[in-house]
Amino acid sequence: MNGRAAIFLLAVIAVAGCSLLDTRDPEDPAIEGGTFLQPDTPEQVVDNIRAAIAELNTLNYRRSLAEDLEFRPTATAEARDGIWSSWSRAEEDQYFATLVAAAAGNTGHGLVLNDESFTLVDASHYRLDATYVLTVNHTRPDAPNRVQGRLLWTVEQRLDGLWELSAWTDQELGTEPSWSDLKAVFVK
């Protein structure tokens, strides 16, 4: 047996002796899950946020928001709570994750938009003006399960051509709790 054949035989024995060729259990695929459409239009951003709320999907909710999201609460919430001056996407993520944890296992969540008006601001900005009813069946006794108000969303096109929610103004309607009230409870 020549030297090359001996080295080859030793290599085959070494490989056969280790678990390199053994079968293994498959890993779970990295599935993001939920309903998420590539946001090629401003309307798809709105649809993705609705689906993320209905499915309590924190990843898809976050994927719909701009990194530098601007949120302006209702006048009542701003006067009552001192949390709004530093509100950023991090607080938005925290609020939604805490809300999802409190609602896990329950059903019937949803965002209903009425009187929707999508307006072109410029080539890369649309504004949605609508009244909303948000229902999240959570277990926190100190927070409403249903809030309503008016929202003004600015949906902006990124450099890659996809759209995201970049600015959000919440307005109250009457004395009903608003989305700002819900956020204030769940971010604390």
Cβ atoms 168, 153 nearer than 8 A: yes
Per-residue pLDDT tens for 95-125?
A: 999 999 999 889 999 999 999 999 999 999 9
Rounded Cα distance between 79 and 184, Å, is 12
Give the burial class of 115: count Cβ atoms within 10 A of its Cβ; 0-12 exposed, 13-18 middle, 19 or more buried.
Answer: exposed
Name the nearest CA neighbour of 105 among 136, 73, 68, 150: 136
| 11 has a pLDDT exceeding 80 | no
Rounded Cα distance between 53 and 61, Å, is 7
Class of domain 36-187: alpha beta
Give alpha helix (H) positions in the chain.
3-17, 42-55, 58-63, 75-80, 89-103, 179-187
Q: At 166, list the tokens.
A: 């970049």
Cβ atoms 49, 58 nearer than 8 A: no
Rounded Cα distance between 94 and 79, Å, is 21
pLDDT band at residue 159 under the 50/70/90 scheme: very high
- Interior CA angle at 163 toward 161 and 168, to 5°? 150
Q: pTM of the prediction?
A: 0.81
Per-residue pLDDT tens for 21-72?
A: 455 444 333 345 789 999 999 999 999 999 999 999 999 999 999 999 999 9
Q: At 22, list the tokens.
A: 């053994």
